[in-house]
């Protein structure tokens, strides 16, 4: 049986973890390596998904050239912080994910038929599960000692044209990853208490 994580681990993943955003000053000038990005993905890929479909696709935008391609698609309020972050991850969903099910979900040989020619099932499964995988990527980055700034606020169509032209991959949301600057943090906003939003039935 698994053991409860230490208080320090729970702090790092949840209680003291913060969303770094708002300005270029949110990020320290400290790079994120290829090895770190591989380690993050190796954890995040273990996320549960429907029929193990794993529709998420990740583009780690790090080079100045790639950042310059991304910049025009960002809302004004997100541009400076994303250009300053060591890495901006495009979390996307492959709407042809079901073509890989014979490899990923061998227990049901007919799994492709659940999605082929069914755009609503494809759309819902791709969006829901890529969102879940993106959340796991955030937790994996935190587990590896990095900070995150997930965000919307960008032109999905332009991102898709720039990074996924000629494919069935569509962007979902972005995550800035790096080493956050604690000096820019504001007090944490309120959260609902258990009894306000939860029921045990």
72-130: pLDDT as tens digits: 999 999 999 999 999 999 999 999 999 999 999 999 999 999 999 999 999 999 999 99
Structure-block tokens of residue 45: 């890929």
Please tell me the predicted confidence (pLDDT) of residue 124. Answer: 98
156-201: pLDDT as tens digits: 999 999 999 999 999 999 999 999 999 999 999 999 999 999 999 9
Section 121-142 average pLDDT: 98
Please tell me the predicted confidence (pLDDT) of residue 72. Answer: 98
Section 127-141 average pLDDT: 98
Rounded to two decimals, the pTM is 0.96
Please tell me the predicted confidence (pLDDT) of residue 12. Answer: 98
Please tell me the predicted confidence (pLDDT) of residue 103. Answer: 97
What does the H/E/C string look like for 150-195? EECCECHHHHHHHHCCCCCEEEEEEEEEECECHHHCCCCCCCCCHH
């Amino acid at each position: 049986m698994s053991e409860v994580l230490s208080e320090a681990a729970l702090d790092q993943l949840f209680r003291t973890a913060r969303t770094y955003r708002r300005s270029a000053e949110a990020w320290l000038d400290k790079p994120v390596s290829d090895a770190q990005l591989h380690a993050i993905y190796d954890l995040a890929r273990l996320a549960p998904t429907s029929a193990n479909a794993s529709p998420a696709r990740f583009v780690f935008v790090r080079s100045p050239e790639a950042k310059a391609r991304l910049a025009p698609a960002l809302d004004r309020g997100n541009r400076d912080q994303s250009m300053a972050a060591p890495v901006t991850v495009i979390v996307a969903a492959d709407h042809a994910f079901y073509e890989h099910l014979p490899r990923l979900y061998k227990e049901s040989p007919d799994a492709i038929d659940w999605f082929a020619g069914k755009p609503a099932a494809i759309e819902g499964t791709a969006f829901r599960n890529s969102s879940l995988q993106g959340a796991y990527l955030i937790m994996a980055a935190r587990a590896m000692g990095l900070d995150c700034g997930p965000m919307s606020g960008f032109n999905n169509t332009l991102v898709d044209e720039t990074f996924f032209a000629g494919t069935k991959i569509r962007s979902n949301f972005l995550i800035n990853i790096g080493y956050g600057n604690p000096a820019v943090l504001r007090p944490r906003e309120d959260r609902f208490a258990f009894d306000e939003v939860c029921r045990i039935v």
